[in-house]
């Protein structure tokens, strides 16, 4: 599903990713752990096609990202990738419903199907009753559940999550993790999740440890 080979990247001659290689099988969840500044977000951004490495290759679903044009990369991202951020990144002027609907609009999906899919997912994350609320009217846990719904609504094959529980208390963090595990099992989603939390590593099949731009260990969980 995901195959990264000898990926390297520098920021102003400073190496940030050094010869990173790994593969993730379809439907598996991987936790990426490591100290601040070691390159975790940069790696996620390269996989998500919003940043590019200097050397090496990334293959997602048989597509070599470095061989794609910018338009092809954008299309691949919209169709196949869902992203969850630490600070939720909801669009502040859109309602919960509209935030979750947004990825479907980008894909040109018709209104009736959009409504059906958004409603189903809002129901699953327990936010059906809050669909008309604005993000500012939500609790942190509700914001992150909205963001989870938005990341999954277009049924991506790959979800990239950067500290998805980093700004939640332990109860809401656990709720978000349960949802992520349950929905990614059900939709057969492959997931790479940056995290500092032990609880989050527990819902993953593998834990990759990163240090100084390199993957220094890979541990199988179960």
Fill in the per-residue mask, 9 to 48: x = in contact with ligand ATP (CB under 6 A), - = not in contact.
--x----x-------------------xxxxxxx------
Closest approach of Cβ 200 to ligand ATP, in Å? Answer: 14
State the Cα angle at 3 between 39 and 193, rounded to 5°. Answer: 45
Closest approach of Cβ 161 to ligand ATP, in Å? Answer: 12
Q: How many residues bind ligand ATP (CB under 6 A)?
A: 9
State which of positions 33-62 bind Mg ion (CB under 5 A).
Answer: 41
How buried is residue 109: exposed, middle or buried, by Cβ count under 10 Å (0-12/13-18/19+)? Answer: middle
Nearer to ligand ATP, 134 or 214 (CB): 214
H or E element: which one contains 191?
strand 190-194
Q: Are 161 and 84 in contact (CB under 8 A)?
A: yes
Q: Which does 148 bind (CB under 5 to 8 A by kind): Mg ion, ligand ATP, none?
A: none
CA distance 89 to 91: 6
Nearer to ligand ATP, 18 or 155 (CB): 18
Task: Name every residue whose Cβ is closer than 8 Å to that of residue 197 and which is 6 or more positions away in sequence.
Answer: 165, 166, 173
CA distance 99 to 90: 7
The owner of tokens 């997912």 is 121
Closest approach of Cβ 102 to ligand ATP, in Å? Answer: 25
Q: Which does 173 bind (CB under 5 to 8 A by kind): ligand ATP, Mg ion, none?
A: none
Interface contacts to Mg ion, rule CB under 5 A: 41
Contact footprint for ligand ATP (CB under 6 A): 11, 16, 36-42
């Amino acid at each position: 599903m995901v195959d990264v080979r000898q990926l390297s990247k520098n920021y102003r001659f400073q190496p940030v990713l050094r010869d990173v290689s790994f593969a993730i099988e379809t439907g598996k969840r991987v936790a990426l752990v490591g100290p601040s500044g070691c390159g975790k977000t940069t790696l996620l951004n390269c996989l998500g096609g919003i940043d590019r490495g200097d050397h090496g290759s990334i293959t997602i679903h048989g597509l070599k990202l470095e061989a794609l044009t910018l338009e092809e990369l954008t299309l691949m991202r919209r169709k196949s990738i869902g992203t969850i951020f630490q600070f939720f990144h909801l669009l502040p002027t859109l309602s919960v419903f509209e935030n979750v609907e947004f990825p479907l609009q980008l894909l040109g999906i018709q209104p009736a199907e959009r409504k059906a899919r958004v409603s189903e997912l809002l129901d699953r994350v327990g936010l059906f009753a809050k669909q008309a609320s604005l993000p500012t009217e939500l609790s942190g846990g509700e914001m992150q559940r909205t963001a989870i719904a938005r990341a999954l609504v277009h049924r991506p094959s790959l979800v990239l999550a950067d500290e998805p529980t980093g700004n939640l208390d332990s109860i809401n963090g656990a709720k978000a993790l349960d949802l992520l595990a349950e929905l990614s099992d059900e939709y057969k989603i492959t997931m790479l999740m940056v995290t500092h939390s032990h609880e989050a590593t527990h819902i993953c099949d593998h834990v990759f440890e990163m240090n100084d731009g390199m993957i220094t260990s890979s541990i199988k969980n179960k």
